[in-house]
Structure 1
């Protein structure tokens, strides 16, 4: 059985608690207690979160854990000397120490991230890098593992971090079953981007959203304006005008970005050749995909694959 110390701070983000569901479900799926979690805070007792959620905690102390996971408020708050001292001691005793979202600020204040590759919520990545220049902050990763230190992006990325821990501890099959039990459509790998092109486009009407969803589900098709307009139940002229008004870009540009997003994910998470990736994501040939990668990421697909392998 592995023990986990889950450290909460005042005004903690309620979403950070979602990571605990992974360990709970792992115990249920395994039919035995694989993990035992203790929820901690500096003083112990009842601790109130940002929206009034109250959690009963135990005070931090000398108990050694296999894993220590640290959270923070949605807007990072400074830690106390007592908390920093606790985390420094815990890092020496535990197998791994982790931060969810802005918990990276807490670990950084304790001096536990110096010289390491880390991530956090994209909104606070620049602040983290500015305040702690010795860190190698990567603002577009779901989670990063650097030795015994794990850090994740914000909100739901804590679930991805916990699933990765479960896979490391007890194998991919149990992690898959737990993800299914939590009704998670797709367990994201650490190297995946925090951003989604569908969210970035932010279409307001149901018709344009339907066309975007159709495009993402049919990337191998030509996806002409006429085809997308038909999916949106609009004429091509109406569709083009409405699409640009809602997303700020042409349908062709949007389709390219969706293809690049899908291609990047395949390159980072599979062993498919560049030619196969180009074909599966709708690029006419590898050269067109290479030019699209250079426009969007500033580097070719081969460089993206090399970086992903280094991170793994």
Structure 2
């Protein structure tokens, strides 16, 4: 016999989450996480906290202002962490990251001691680390901040090539849409895969991504431990639409052009110029396959002079034109050709 709605509303939730929001937290990361829980918690889009329950916790109950200026009013004081399946710390801007208050740290240490898994979202990862709660754990950070993390947070074991990381009772992600996928992972585990997929589909996110899915936009292979190469790759990634010369990259880094070229050859067995070209061609390929943008617009977005310039470089690497990639092509044409024989192009590459 089906339960009446009133009776069903009394059913204990399968997934309970308490949120701790840092000052100037990232609203997008928080909202994505909460909305996955909200949409999975009830039938349709009614938003009743039946299968999932969530609340914002505070030591002072003062409103917490996000980095976008929108404030959130906490609902409960910290209390006993054992009433939650997970405690999620949502951080914000890198420059505004600060240590958690003593009350928050005490609460999180009590949660860890009680076996309640802790979740770090965005710079919440760094807050957990500074509270001594990530010692011996792998954690996910954005590739965009990899070099800053290595410099500022000694002892942190950052993973930049995955959208989220689950390491025993610590779960971490870099924020943005990845927080929706991490939330969907928890819903799948505690409530069901159908509810997880339903949430993502209503949010117009195609499908749940597994933790091992690479972060979008990672330049080449950030698994290299060479920090000079990592920093150079990040500068390239940030200047895709207006490519800069290796000389300018060296100036910004405080290194010589010759030094950067030597590190690229040793770490990636290629030159900085070719690496930069490959980054731009990788993005162009992604946009050609996944977007409806014209080839001319893609050429501009990826730092090429025009569509002819993009087509010439594209054919050299992929063996076909951008236009052909949008049509079914024989497998023989899909094989990638290396661009090591590309001219040593600087800003105009």
TM-score, structure 1 as length reference: 0.66
Q: How many residues align?
A: 245
Summarize the alignment of residues 191-230 of structure 1 with structure 2, pairs less than 5 Å apart.
Answer: 191-196=212-217, 215-216=288-289
Cα separation, partners in 2 of 1:51 and 1:32, compared to 1, 3 Å: closer
d(CA) in 2 for partners of 1:50, 1:148? 28
Q: Deviations over 1:241-262 (max 9, x none)?
A: 5148689x92236759xxxxxx
Q: Does 1:4 align with 2:17?
A: yes
Partners of 1:29 and 1:177 within 8 A in 2: no
Unmatched segments (≥5 aa) in structure 2 = 1-12, 220-236, 243-280, 298-303, 320-327, 339-349
Summarize the alignment of residues 146-295 of structure 1 with structure 2, pairs less than 5 Å apart.
Answer: 146-196=167-217, 215-216=288-289, 232=295, 241-243=305-307, 250-252=313-315, 255=318, 284=332
Cα separation, partners in 2 of 1:132 and 1:241, compared to 1, 3 Å: closer
From 29, 42, 45, the equivalent of 2:62 is 45
d(CA) in 2 for partners of 1:33, 1:253? 56
Q: Does 1:69 align with 2:88?
A: yes
Secondary structure of 1:190's counterpart equals coil
Unmatched segments (≥5 aa) in structure 1 = 219-230, 235-239, 257-279, 293-312
d(CA) in 2 for partners of 1:116, 1:136? 7
d(CA) in 2 for partners of 1:89, 1:82? 11
TM-score, structure 2 as length reference: 0.59
Bigger radius of gyration: 2
d(CA) in 2 for partners of 1:143, 1:86? 24
d(CA) in 1 for partners of 2:19, 2:316? 44
d(CA) in 1 for partners of 2:108, 2:193? 29
d(CA) in 1 for partners of 2:104, 2:310? 47
Cα separation, partners in 2 of 1:156 and 1:283, compared to 1, 3 Å: same
Partners of 1:203 and 1:246 within 8 A in 2: no
The CA deviation at 1:167 is 1.2
Q: Does 1:14 align with 2:27?
A: yes
Secondary structure of 2:119's counterpart equals strand
d(CA) in 2 for partners of 1:282, 1:150? 42
Cα separation, partners in 2 of 1:281 and 1:84, compared to 1, 3 Å: farther
Partners of 2:161 and 2:218 within 8 A in 1: no
Q: Deviations over 1:128-171 (max 9, x none)?
A: 33444433211121000000110002322111111111112123
From 73, 91, 99, the equivalent of 1:56 is 73
Q: Deviations over 1:80-125 (max 9, x none)?
A: 3332222111122254211111110011011111111111222333
Q: Deviations over 1:11-52 (max 9, x none)?
A: 111112221000000012488711111101332232212222
d(CA) in 1 for partners of 2:289, 2:218? 10
The CA deviation at 1:188 is 2.4
Partners of 1:243 and 1:250 within 8 A in 2: no
